[in-house]
Amino acid sequence: MDFINIASGSKGNCTIVSTKNTMIMIDNGLNIRTLLERVRLANIDLKKVSALLITHEHSDHIKGIAPLLGKYSFPVYCHEQSQSGLDAKVFPYLACQNMDIPFEIGDIQINPFRLPHDSNYNLGYRLSDGKNTIAIATDLGSMNDAIFDNLKNSDLVMLESNHDVQMLKNGDYPFLLKQRILSKNGHLSNDDCADTISKLTKTGTKHFVLAHLSQDNNTPELAFECTEKALYKQNIKEGVDAYVDVAMQFKSMQKINLE
């Protein structure tokens, strides 16, 4: 399976997971011009998209979907509690699928799982082609055993590393917004992400992608170092025993090919 994050953060999210025969896009919060430019650079043909999975109805995850559907045609999978947030143009493309149970698209098995977030509903996804497994969880205020069970034993995990707690606390955000981000239904901190990743390495996961970094309360260096240090405490060397990438807002990452 191939994995590539096209964009990550509060200004727009898009990730693509593919096998030889199936291509799945997860969210699209990018305008069509930006998306087309980035997929062109990554050598991805959007005509091959088999389906689009929506995590939740916040605009940074869905605002680019309706314009895309004017140009391309593929089914859109969305939990029924998030559907009220969608542009009406998306409705004709909605797949009739219970998003609380596993299902298949082409040769990829999809396991949706719930994440605690201040949206109507939010889903993480575990995707497997029988050989490799990729798990994706962003926009979650807290980690719990049920989420961990859906991430563990994967070959690659993309996990939110949203903010440095001190940067957020000392920063300019209004008090209520800080409280919202720090709450159990807000966004996951660097520390909580790093702690989870160091536990996941014990289940065999080797590839990690830190995602949905705040532009104001984090830096790619801080997020990376926080996870790197947590791994080092477990005697795991980044770049040798485990690999950590940072998904960016303003450019795509390098495609990761899992064998």
Report the nearest approach of Zn ion to the CB of residue 13 (Å).
6
Question: Using CB under 5 A, which of the segments 41-49, 50-58, 126-134, 154-162 binds Zn ion?
Answer: 50-58
Number of residues in contact with Zn ion, rule: CB under 5 A?
3
- Residue of minimal Cβ distance to Zn ion: 58
**C-alpha to C-alpha distance for 25 and 56, rounded to whole angstroms:** 14
Report the nearest approach of Zn ion to the CB of residue 76 (Å).
18
Question: Using CB under 5 A, which of the segments 53-61, 93-101, 144-152, 198-206 binds Zn ion?
Answer: 53-61
Establish if 163 lies at the interface with Zn ion (CB under 5 A). no
In the bound state with Zn ion, the residue whose beta carbon lies nearer, of 15 and 128, is 15
Report the nearest approach of Zn ion to the CB of residue 253 (Å).
17
In the bound state with Zn ion, the residue whose beta carbon lies nearer, of 38 and 58, is 58
SS (H, E, C) the chain: CEEEEEECCCCCCEEEEECCCCEEEECCCCCHHHHHHHHHHCCCCHHHCCEEECCCCCHHHHCCHHHHHCCCCCCEECCCCCHHHCCHHHHHHECCCCCCCCEEECCEEEEEEECCCCCCCCEEEEEECCCCEEEEECCCCCCCHHHHHHHCCCCEEEEECCECHHHHHHCCCCHHHHHHHHCCCCCCEHHHHHHHHHHHHCCCCCEEEEECCCCCCCCHHHHHHHHHHHHHHCCCCECCCEEEEECCCCCCCCCEECC
Establish if 160 lies at the interface with Zn ion (CB under 5 A). no
Among 25, 27, 54, 60, binds Zn ion (CB under 5 A): 60
Report the nearest approach of Zn ion to the CB of residue 138 (Å).
6
In the bound state with Zn ion, the residue whose beta carbon lies nearer, of 213 and 231, is 213
Establish if 58 lies at the interface with Zn ion (CB under 5 A). yes
Among 139, 155, 164, 245, binds Zn ion (CB under 5 A): 139
- Contact residues for Zn ion (CB under 5 A)? 58, 60, 139
